[in-house]
A = this chain, B = another copy of it.
Amino acid sequence: MRKPVWLFSEGSLKRRDLLGNKGANLCEMTSLGMPVPFGFIITTQTHLEYQRLRQRIPEGTMEEVKAALLKMEIRQGAEFGNPVNPLLVSVRSGASVSMPGMMDTLLNLGINDEIVEGLAKLTANPRFAYDTYRRFLQLYGAVVGGKGIHPYTQILKDYRQQHGLEEHADLDVGELKEIIGLFKKIHLPPDNPWTQLENAIGAVFSSWNNPRAQTYRRLNDIPDSIGTAVIIQAMVFGNMGQNSGSGIAFTRNPSTGEKEFFGEYLMNAEGEDIASGRRTPRSLNEFKEESPILYNQLFQLQKTLEEHYRDMQDLEFTIQENRLYLLQTRSGKRTAKAAVKIAVDLVNEGLISEKEALRRMDPEMARFFMHPMIDPQAEKNVLALGLPASPGAVTGKIVFTSEEAQKAKDQGDQVILVRVETTPEDIHGMQAALGILTTSGGMTSHAALLARGMGRTCIVGCKGLSVDEKKQRLILEDGSVIRKGRLLTLDGSSGEVMEGRVPTIDAHEDQDYLTLLSWADKYRRLKIRANAETSKEALTALRFGAEGIGLCRTEHVFFHPESIDVFREMIFAQSPEEKQEKLNQLSAFQVRELKQLFKVMDGLPVTLRLLDPPLSEFLPQAKSEIEKLARRLGRETESLMKQVGALHEKNPMLGFRGSRLSIIYPEISTMQMDSILTAAIQSQRNGTIVKPEIMVPLVTSSGELEVILQNLEQTAKQTFLRLGQNIQYKLGTMMEVPRACVQSRTVAPQVQFMSFDTHDLTQLTFGFSREDSGKFLPDYIERQILAFDPFIHLDQQGVGNLIRMALEQSRKVQKKMEYGICGDHGGDPRSIKFFHRIGIDYVSCSPHLVPVACLAAAKASI
């Protein structure tokens, strides 16, 4: 292994994979001449080796660490482990992809009973020295000692309550010593600073595999194989008194994206005091007033950094006795709204190109703009006001634990998770909730950061409310009570917490967002269509930028209350004449519905899939319902029961549906084809431009297609004759069966387009029934047996290879073929990237995912 330890002065951004994101940024700041405390990095490679050695630090590493530390001692003029002039260090994690708060950090290493006294003497600040010792014991015991943070915070809380103190900062030396005694009883660290250091490095390495880090990586698709670096840095102290402090700053507002230097700080505190949200911090505006020189210095630094990185930065700084230090910079997490505004602004400021703006965009962020915001006209009863940590407007039932949030979500409820403050253990609950409300913490607290990342609406630091965890209720300032399960509405943009459900309107008209989408349209090659059945859905799709309908499930109209009975009568018709009469009635419904659809989609293609579900889906299953149907049909219940029973299938997914129905009951396809063309011609007569594309589902062989297309073309001829008018139409097939992909060569010559239903293709390629896979699939994902859920992201190796094969083969025989995607993956950015790469022409997704798909398609093109 080469060079396990790098000084900040040796590295650069280019070695991010080796030095981690945090480490590489510290190197970069060092080379920019910024006030970064001296430090060095143990590489990610060393960490990978550590894992290969089963949690043992590779030989030679500690020697390199000692050598680097020697340089630090020289630079700092202090000595690690020397009670007279002690050097303390921090030990932090830092992977090449930011995983905020997920791994462990140790601070103030190199202290013990003897050194704390030396430190007190040296600084003439015993309160600082003992507070530092207290902090060391607390983190070391929690992390290396494996005790967790809870016993320590409990002691502090109890102690404060017993002594009537509001903040830790109020503890005096005697009190701190008492607390130190209590802390030592929980876990007693080794006296030897070197042992502390080696243990700390091991603990940070090992924290890579703690459950919350694993969950975070899985949720964010971060591979396990990248590993983490460890950063060892000379401590600077924000807890040295009222001329010291710590802060977090953003170069632009991470919530709105406004170009304003924005941040929070606490005097006489370390950074963790802000991140944990225990004390509500002060805004940088106050800092500007109180310490204009330091503020100005910080302001210049952030400006330089943003220009250097050409992106909004999230900084950590510490002031030690009126000297400013930067401890970290990184691209700041931001709300979707901020991300869009910042990107557009940076383009306008000439810092980045349009393409770069698109490249930086997480297409999923577009989902936010589909979220509503509070209707300005709405009446609302504001119960409390908190900090607007992540925008959006949501209404949900309140719950008080992550477990309940998950449970309620599983039951289909929309929930708001209410906590005093969130911890990394709450990821699951936050994921399950629509919104998060905390009564403490600031804009940069854990809850705020994570909610913004997840696109969840979030209000933090809502002091007007208090949480009664035991009784599972919220208490308002006037003493009134809101119990679990009651509806609240959160406005993440204003910080308002409102009673009940408040009407909302759309965020879709945001100008920056529309600008970004217009850029996406400029650069993407993939066309975006939407899956829509009704004219209402089609309108939504159009509003969101759809360029056509990629999947209209034509049978949806037969499920309407007015037509379902006719459909059933058709199934059970006793004579050809009766059957035809029912088909005629169904045709009238189909024509009416399609004319509305065509009108909305004027000029754009509309893909109409013929009847797909098995007939049994149209029938009642309960005996009482069958009896009702029997009465309607004038039939014996028993014989009807038998007929309904005969339609039951053991594996309906593999049964009598799709094209199989078109072959055995061609009269249904005939009726649908005739209806489609009749609606199209009538619409055309009304001046609408109609581009119908008729799609045959569930095809496995060219033979099926031949029989069906012959019938469709024959029907078209008759319809044209009857109406005295022709219309252009396309014929295509849905590709959803592995065999059709393997044999696309024989299917291709007959059709003008192929649309892959990646959902059903995934079911058949894996042999996974979506409905039944709940018994094992979550476990597969949890245990990484599958890297991800193949119903969410396309399985490129398996399903994707089948699609690629289908494209290669069919292109050989049909150069002009048009290829589409109409499964759920059509709205998934990662899948879209793949579809772009293999040469798909368009994806079709649910209307509200159209902008996501647009952005993903643009990113794929760039």
Q: Give the interface of A toward B (CB within 8 A).
A: 649-656, 660, 663-664, 698, 700-701, 703-704, 706-707, 736-739, 742-743, 746, 760, 763-769, 771-773, 775-776, 779-780, 783-787, 795, 797-799, 801-802
Contacts and interface: CB of A to CB of B under 8 A. Distances in A.
A318 B704 CA distance: 49
A739 B707 contact: no
B698 A654 contact: no
A654 B653 contact: yes
Contacts of A764: 654, 738, 764-765, 767
Contact of A785 (B707, B766, B772, B779): B707
B797 A655 contact: no
Contacts of A650: 652-653, 769, 771-772
Contact of A766 (B664, B739, B766, B784): B739
A767 B704 contact: no
7 contacts: A651-B652, A653-B767, A663-B779, A698-B767, A700-B798, A701-B798, A706-B785
A765 B780 contact: no
Contacts of A660: 775-776
Contact of A664 (B742, B775, B787, B799): B775
Contacts of A651: 651-654, 769, 771-772
In this complex, the member of A736, A742, A780 whose beta carbon has the largest number of chain B beta carbons within 10 angstroms is A742
A698 B767 CA distance: 8
Contacts of A798: 700-701, 738-739, 742-743
Given A663-B779, A664-B775, A795 B765 contact: no
Nearest to A746: B797
Contacts of A653: 650-651, 653-654, 767, 769
Given A664-B776, A703-B785, A797 B654 contact: no
B739 A775 contact: no
A797 B742 contact: yes
Given A651-B771, A739-B765, A743-B801, 17 more contacts: A650-B652, A651-B653, A653-B769, A654-B767, A654-B773, A655-B773, A656-B772, A656-B776, A660-B776, A664-B775, A703-B780, A703-B785, A703-B787, A704-B785, A738-B738, A742-B798, A742-B802
B795 A739 contact: yes
A440 to B, nearest CB: 41
Contacts of A766: 700, 737, 739
A738 B803 CA distance: 13
A541 B128 CA distance: 86
Interface of A is mostly: helix
Nearest to A787: B703
In this complex, the member of A650, A738, A786, A801 whose beta carbon has the largest number of chain B beta carbons within 10 angstroms is A738
Contact of A765 (B738, B746, B776): B738
B663 A769 contact: no
A663 B782 CA distance: 12
A61 B772 CA distance: 65
B779 A664 contact: yes
A311 B784 CA distance: 64
Contacts of A775: 655-656, 660, 664
Contacts of A655: 769, 772-773, 775
A688 B738 CA distance: 44
A228 to B, nearest CB: 24
A768 B703 contact: no
Contacts of A652: 650-651, 772
A315 to B, nearest CB: 41
A736 B764 CA distance: 11
Nearest to A745: B797
Contacts of A797: 742-743, 746
Given A651-B652, A654-B767, A798-B739, A663 B785 contact: yes
Given A651-B654, A763-B654, A779-B663, A703 B786 contact: yes
Nearest to A651: B769
A703 to B, nearest CB: 4
Contacts of A763: 654
A652 B650 CA distance: 8
B737 A767 contact: yes
Q: Which 9 A-B pairs have the closest CB atoms?
A: A654-B769, A739-B798, A651-B769, A655-B772, A703-B785, A656-B775, A738-B738, A649-B772, A737-B767
Contacts of A765: 737-739, 742, 764
Contacts of A769: 649-651, 653-655
A536 B320 CA distance: 87
Nearest to A799: B739
B767 A700 contact: yes
A529 to B, nearest CB: 25
Contacts of A706: 785
A551 to B, nearest CB: 18
Nearest to A660: B776
A47 B39 CA distance: 92
Contact of A701 (B654, B663, B786): B786
Nearest to A798: B739
A783 to B, nearest CB: 7
Contacts of A738: 738, 764-765, 767, 798, 802
Nearest to A708: B785
Nearest to A700: B766
